[in-house]
Structure 1
């Protein structure tokens, strides 16, 4: 699944990608560019929604479903909701189907996944981004959640990232663990702008979640582990040479 993302960009770069956002910026909106955030830290992130016009605001990564009705349950299980399988969105009776009309876009400059190499003790982390755009969009869903924070008990806007079956490149990189063979639901600009339209039909939703981002439009390379403490700077995405690392075939 996708638990590690980057947004090394400022607000002006996001506005350049979505000119319609010029009039949809919340007062005092700001964010700090980052080379890596892990979902399990439940960070705040710029998220694009259609609220009588496109707007960008800070949402917290990781919804808190009603079934997580104690602080202990939240601590133990919240990370399970950082991602949502896109196949579940049209499936009646699922949590994601219930909020399918609360669609959003999550701007990123890249994401990270770990590759399992036969015979190697440790997985190899990769940084993956679009060859086409500095900033691209991952489809998401949003919801208001009980924060379970003693200092901030109010409901907060949260989001989850949608994932789908991996394309040929991502199948080779994200090839281990319980959720192997998945990748973020990356959307080209035309589908991204459709995704947040309020009048999207059920058929439209099904068509968009079937989009497979072309493997040839991805750029990727191995990096050092992003799960170890390090400065939040360019070194996070620096290319690393691993001896005898098999190539990703495409």
Structure 2
């Protein structure tokens, strides 16, 4: 599961990793939650021979995918995650899995371990070597009955790696840089061709830092959310409330 994540790198670092140009400035985001806008990278128009223009594009989407066939968004569940093992078969994700696979730039994500006597312990899960990572995502454009359009997206998950398993059984799918092109290529690479990319990260890739329960509240959005604490020192660490479907329009 991935219900909160962070992107604290600057636009220039994101541009360099994903092969983008001229991203609009954005501030560090320490506590990104479902229904908020998230940055996604998609394959763009193929390059002309000799062109220096990138063949990838960045866009902001609402985190929580809405399939095109949904009639009542208020009654539809908030699809901020999709199980990678079944996404190609599920009606909600099947079309996006075939035609609109994306990358989601991130600095790491938050997870909660249940069973602590004082409540659920929050962890900031980050790459051990630092830097930006790319979650596997799916995008779907939704046209509401009034005629306006909105881009929406979800993050794919897989079984947890050995680094994450003691905390939670699921984790986001991470696409490594050398696999960006294949993952984004929805013209020649069908879902069955990229199944091997939807796997847990290798042991030692992530480290999990215990943090305070400040992250549980969406309004808390500063760097203090990622400061290490001693788990025993957490007086109260209730898990964040399950995100509810919000009015979209």
The question of a shared fold, defined as TM-score above 0.5 by the shorter chain, is answered with: yes
2:240 is aligned to none
Contact 2:158–2:171 (Cα < 8 Å) also in 1: yes
- Are the structure 2 counterparts of residues 229 and 64 from structure 1 closer, same or farther at C-alpha, using a change threshold of 3 Å? closer
C-alpha distance in structure 1 between counterparts of 2:68 and 2:154, whole Å: 15
Any unmatched runs of 5+ in structure 2?
A: 46-54, 235-249
TM-score by length of 2: 0.81
Establish whether residue 218 from structure 1 lines up as the match of residue 206 from structure 2. yes
Q: Any idea what SS the aligned residue of 2:27 has?
A: coil
User: Deviation digits for residues 2-58 of structure 1, max 9, x if unmatched?
Assistant: 11010012210101212x212xx57xx34332111111xx11121100021111121
Aligned to 1:61: 63
1:130 match: 127
Q: Deviations over 1:153-207 (max 9, x none)?
A: 5111111000001112211111xxxxxx110001211123321123213432222
Q: Is the 8 A contact 2:183 2:194 kept in 1?
A: yes
Structure 1 residue 124: Cα displacement = 0.1
Distance in 1 of aligned mates of 2:12 and 2:233: 41
Residues 1:99 and 2:93 aligned together: no
Q: Which residue of 1 is the match for residue 230 of structure 2?
A: 241
1:229 and 1:184 mapped to 2: Cα distance?
Answer: 20
Q: Which of 156, 169, 179 in structure 2 is aligned with 1:162? A: 156
Partner residue, 1:21 = 20
TM-score scaled by length of structure 1: 0.80
Gaps of 5+ in 1: 175-180, 246-250
Quickly say closer, same or farther: Cα 1:244–1:8, change in 2 above 3 A. closer
State which of 160, 167, 171 in structure 2 corresponds to 1:173: 167
- Could you tell me which residue of structure 2 aligns to residue 46 of structure 1? 39
Query: Residues 90 and 206 of structure 1 are in contact (CA less than 8 Å); yes or no, is this contact kept in structure 2?
Result: no
